[in-house]
Amino acid sequence: MATEWLVRMGSMLLFYVSYLLCVCLGVLCLVFVSYWNSTWRGGFAWDGTARQFNWHPVLMVTGLVVLYGNAAVLYRVPLTWGQNKLPWKLLHASLLFLALILSILGLCAVFGFHNANGVPNLYSLHSWLGIVTTALFTAQWALGLAAFLLPCSPVALRGLLKPVHVWMGGAIFILSMASCISGINEKLFFVLNGNTNGTRPYSDLPAEAVFANSLGVLIIAFGLVVLQILSNKRWQRPEPGCEEETSRPLLDEDS
């Protein structure tokens, strides 16, 4: 019994270390993407100029990566175990909804900039990844709302969709990281050309390139910690029984 208790305490301690690392890396991602665009890219506006475009990476990293990742690991926090699951499901859905709104605003920023300056839309691999990720995210959130938040959702449908919902959540998060990483690289190739804007070329690795590449590394590190938390079965929220998940609609939960 003592050995089992020690193993449990060690697992919980390791979780909180991982969770603290997740939070710190997420904050660093926000600081880096905001500092990059405010310092090297000229700041922010909503006027059709490059300063409008600068909202795009900030909103996408904030929504699709940091908020999304934190919403995904919410159920793993041991302090939420043994409590009424309804508030945590509502918080999970709310965080994801905020992430979705920010990602849509990020798309509006880049499309508005492109249209105002005669730049073609949706021609690069980065743009394809971004659109597919946002579309899947929208469908995932709407389907999750219908299946797990509405009391009228059929029991069989909820049981069928739960593993798909979990798998799609991880897939969308991986796509989100790929979209952000490819976007950082694409932006650096565009602005650090060494020809038209007086900057040193990307291949010379100027200070902006080092900083933005570091942002990409932080995003990858944050994503790996999130995926490690999600993949550890010891950190899955213990359920009192399958009845809570498959036989009662969310809004009827009382335990």
Specify the CATH number for the domain of residue 101: 1.20.120.1770
Tell whether the model's pLDDT for residue 248 goes beyond 60. Answer: no
Q: How confident is the model at residue 254 (pLDDT cuts 50, 70, 90)?
A: very low
pLDDT of residue 78: 85
165: in domain: yes
2: in domain: no
Instruction: Please tell me the least confidently modeled range out of 25-34, 191-200, 240-249.
Output: 240-249
Q: How confident is the model at residue 197 (pLDDT cuts 50, 70, 90)?
A: low
pLDDT in tens, 3-21: 776 777 878 889 999 999 9
Q: Cα(215)–Cα(210) distance, rounded to whole angstroms?
A: 9
3-state class (DSSP) for residue 154: coil
pLDDT of residue 246: 38
Length of the chain: 255
Mutual angle of helices 155-191 and 207-231, in 10-degree steps: 160
27: in domain: yes
183: in domain: yes
Q: How confident is the model at residue 154 (pLDDT cuts 50, 70, 90)?
A: confident
Helix H or strand E encompassing 189: helix 155-191
- Number of structural domains found in the chain: 1
Domain that holds residue 60: 17-252
- Say what the pTM is: 0.90
pLDDT of residue 240: 56
Q: How confident is the model at residue 32 (pLDDT cuts 50, 70, 90)?
A: very high
Name the token pair of 81: 């175990």
Q: Cα(74)–Cα(67) distance, rounded to whole angstroms?
A: 11
The more confident residue out of 89 and 110 is 110
95: in domain: yes
Q: How confident is the model at residue 251 (pLDDT cuts 50, 70, 90)?
A: very low
Render the burial of 26-48: b for 16+ CB within 10 Å, e for the rest.
Answer: bebbbebbbebbeebbeebeeee
Tell whether the model's pLDDT for residue 241 goes beyond 60. Answer: no
146: in domain: yes
3-state class (DSSP) for residue 81: coil
Q: Are 186 and 126 contacting, i.e. CB atoms less than 8 angstroms apart? A: yes
Average pLDDT over residues 208-227: 98
3-state class (DSSP) for residue 201: coil
